[in-house]
Amino acid sequence: MKARVPSLLLVAVFSVIFLSSCGSAGSAQKEKQASDPFPAGSEFVYVSSPSSAQVFGFHMDTSTGALTPVPGSPLAGPVGIRGRMFLSSDQRTLISVGEGTPSIKYSINSENGSLTRLQSVDFTDNLNQFVIVAIDSAAQFMYAIDQYQAADAHLLGVRISDGSSIPGLGMNVQHVVSHPDQHTLYLDGQAFDIDSNTGALSPSTISDLPTSTGELTRDGLTLVHQEEGFTTTPAHVYHRASATAPFAEETGSPVNTPGSESFGWYIEHSGKFVYLWNFDMQWYGYRLDTLQPVSTTPFPDLAVVDNTGKFGVQAEFQGALRVQHYDSSTGIYGSTISNYSVPPFSNVRFIVGGH
């Protein structure tokens, strides 16, 4: 992200960042899940490359950060611009979202990280009106907002195996946030539990969000929120003591980045640091416990932090996959370790294992 990119692509990038609050990538890269099926020391990186209709998988050496392709990589993937993906909470299933073409469901081999295509799913994004926002923890169901950002926007969902509709949906909703455990969806901030048998939603005993958008940390207790738009948008940070306790805004919130308005965020997997992106294409890091900056100098690039907290991995727009050092005690990115070739406009979506 060193260079300013064309406006159409910039809009697509911004869409990725904001839609990550709906349970996507990024998120992706958000959390160690409840169960980790991977051998000790094994870590795998998954990259979407929608412009070339491919999905890449790499094994990461957790000692050196070196990457090697997993068996069969790359695989055929859906065509698109944003290249959004969803990972099931057991880390065994990956769904690559199509844009006008079918989405694809893959299984993840826990021994070597290879992907096996399971099925295509006729449930896809388009750039404006229909946006997939979440899956459940077992990757049985997918949820989407139809007529996204319109007054009559509403929630739809399907059972992935046969494409049948989830009963009881159709409620008006503008924004959906997925709890990291993928058992709960927040519809415009209101919490609903997912029925594991039918995919239907029912009111939850978990406390509601204080806002309609945002992203939760892995434990579900801290929320980072920014309003969508092209005006000054400080980041608000809220915390709750337990899943059923109400949220309260943290001391020091909201946070404004220096320079131009901020327009996106990334929470690294441990939940210790948040990085805010502004219109100058710079990233500013903050500790989530104090909301103090990690450095007075912005980062010109932003990389997804691996689960060991030692490395950052970034796919640059020009077609380079870069591994760099990361200091998990300070939240500061370091020097480049190595570069690998991937198609232009690829995106690092998930890093699994490493525990």
The answer to whether the Cα torsion of 13, 326, 89, 215 is positive or negative is: negative
In a domain, 246, yes or no: yes
Where does residue 289 rank: exposed (0-12), middle (13-18), buried (19+ CB within 10 A)?
A: middle
In a domain, 1, yes or no: no
Q: 27: closest CA among 311, 309, 305, 345?
A: 305
Task: Say which amino acid occupies 207.
Answer: S
Tell me: cis bond preceding 343? Omega within 30 of 0 counts.
Answer: no
Q: Round to whole Å and give the CA distance between 156 and 332.
A: 40
CATH number, domain containing residue 73: 2.130.10.10
Query: What does each C-alpha distance from 310 to 2, 14, 31, 256, 318 come to in angstroms?
Result: 22, 27, 15, 28, 25
In a domain, 258, yes or no: yes
Q: How many CB atoms lie within 10 A of CB 290?
A: 10
Q: Round to whole Å and give the CA distance between 25 and 39.
A: 23
Q: Which domain does 23 fall in, by range?
A: 7-353
Per-residue pLDDT tens digits of the chain, which is 355 residues long = 333 333 334 434 444 444 444 434 344 334 344 456 777 778 999 999 999 999 999 999 999 999 999 999 999 999 988 899 999 999 999 999 999 899 999 999 999 999 999 999 999 998 678 999 999 999 999 999 999 989 999 999 999 999 999 999 999 999 999 999 999 999 999 999 999 999 999 999 999 999 999 999 999 999 999 876 556 678 899 999 999 999 999 999 999 887 666 667 899 999 999 999 877 778 899 999 999 999 989 988 789 999 999 999 999 888 899 999 999 999 999 999 999 999 999 999 999 998 7
Where does residue 249 rank: exposed (0-12), middle (13-18), buried (19+ CB within 10 A)?
A: middle
Q: Round to whole Å and give the CA distance between 210 and 206.
A: 13
Q: Round to whole Å and give the CA distance between 74 and 167.
A: 36
Token readout for 153 is 């926007």
Do 83 and 49 form a contact (C-beta atoms < 8 A)? Answer: yes
What is the count of structural domains for the chain?
A: 1
In a domain, 2, yes or no: no
Where does residue 246 rank: exposed (0-12), middle (13-18), buried (19+ CB within 10 A)?
A: exposed
Q: Round to whole Å and give the CA distance between 89 and 111.
A: 17
The residue to which tokens 């160690």 are assigned: 32
Helix (H) or strand (E) run with residue 287 in it: strand 283-287
Do 176 and 22 form a contact (C-beta atoms < 8 A)? Answer: yes
Q: Is 206 helix (H, G, I), strand (E, B) or coil?
A: coil
pTM higher than the cut 0.85: yes
Q: Round to whole Å and give the CA distance between 234 and 207.
A: 24
Q: Round to whole Å and give the CA distance between 66 and 341.
A: 13
Q: Round to whole Å and give the CA distance between 247 and 211.
A: 10
In a domain, 149, yes or no: yes
In a domain, 320, yes or no: yes
Helix-then-strand count for the chain, H and E: 1, 27
Question: pLDDT value at position 261?
Answer: 61
Region for residue 51 given its phi and psi (left: phi exceeds 0; alpha: psi -120 to 50; beta: otherwise) = alpha
Q: Round to whole Å and give the CA distance between 17 and 30.
A: 13
